[in-house]
Amino acid sequence: MSTPRDDRARLEREERWRQLMRAAQDGDNAAYAALLSEILPVLRRFVAYRWPSAPDVEDIVQEVLLSVHTVRHTYDPARPFMPWLMTIAMRRTIDAARRRTARNANETTVDIMPETFSGDDAKNEQEISDDQEAIRRALAQLPDGQRQAVELMKVKGLSLLEASAVTGKSVASLKVSVHRGLKTMREVLKRETQ
């Protein structure tokens, strides 16, 4: 049960926030920073109370802060500040809960993540050797200029400037050669896998 002193403190806080918001709307950045800092613990409590099992309270609080920021022009200083703030906080908390429910409906939780095969560590030696052989074959099919550009920049790891110094070609020309070379290799590898 609230005492008269609590009520007075609440009214004073309400009036202060109203003034701060009015000043913030007029472009007073210090007032705006003070207001957002003062409402931050209130928002944390609100979100934690409304959604006790929320896994990401701080994310939702930040979403509320961003929403307050984008719609701060909708606040009418003639009206109380707290209902305005709490409506936004409630709306964004419900949105976050809804999003999470939708995401959970489409996700399956697993204890052990399935192995991926994109990295060489996850492959056996035979597979690595097969891959390398296929790349070597695709590289061999490229015209000389493109093969040299791909070898220097993608196999040996030279920069464009370094490759330009080695080949005597311009940077632009090397870029085009690498792009075309990789495209051709991709098509060759695709054909082989089919």
Interacting residues of 131 by C-beta distance below 8 A, sequence separation 6+: 123
- Does 62 participate in binding another protein (rule CB under 8 A)? yes
- Does 131 participate in binding another protein (rule CB under 8 A)? no
Min dist CB 97 to another protein, Å, is: 15
- Which of 40/176 has CB closer to another protein? 40
Under DSSP, the state recorded for 82 is H
Show contacts of 90-94: CB within 8 Å, 24+ apart. 90/46, 90/50, 91/67, 92/60, 92/63, 92/64, 92/67, 93/46, 93/47, 93/50, 93/51, 93/54, 93/60, 93/64
| Token duo for residue 74 | 């909708």
Min dist CB 88 to another protein, Å, is: 5
Identified binder of another protein from the candidate list 74, 129, 141, 159, rule CB under 8 A = 74
- Does 45 participate in binding another protein (rule CB under 8 A)? no
Segment contacting another protein by CB under 8 A, of 84-92, 107-115, 117-125, 166-174: 84-92
Using the structure block, give the residue that is written with the tokens 């609440």: 10
Binding region for another protein (CB under 8 A): 24-27, 29-30, 32-33, 36-37, 40, 58, 61-62, 65-67, 69-77, 79-80, 82-88, 91-92, 95
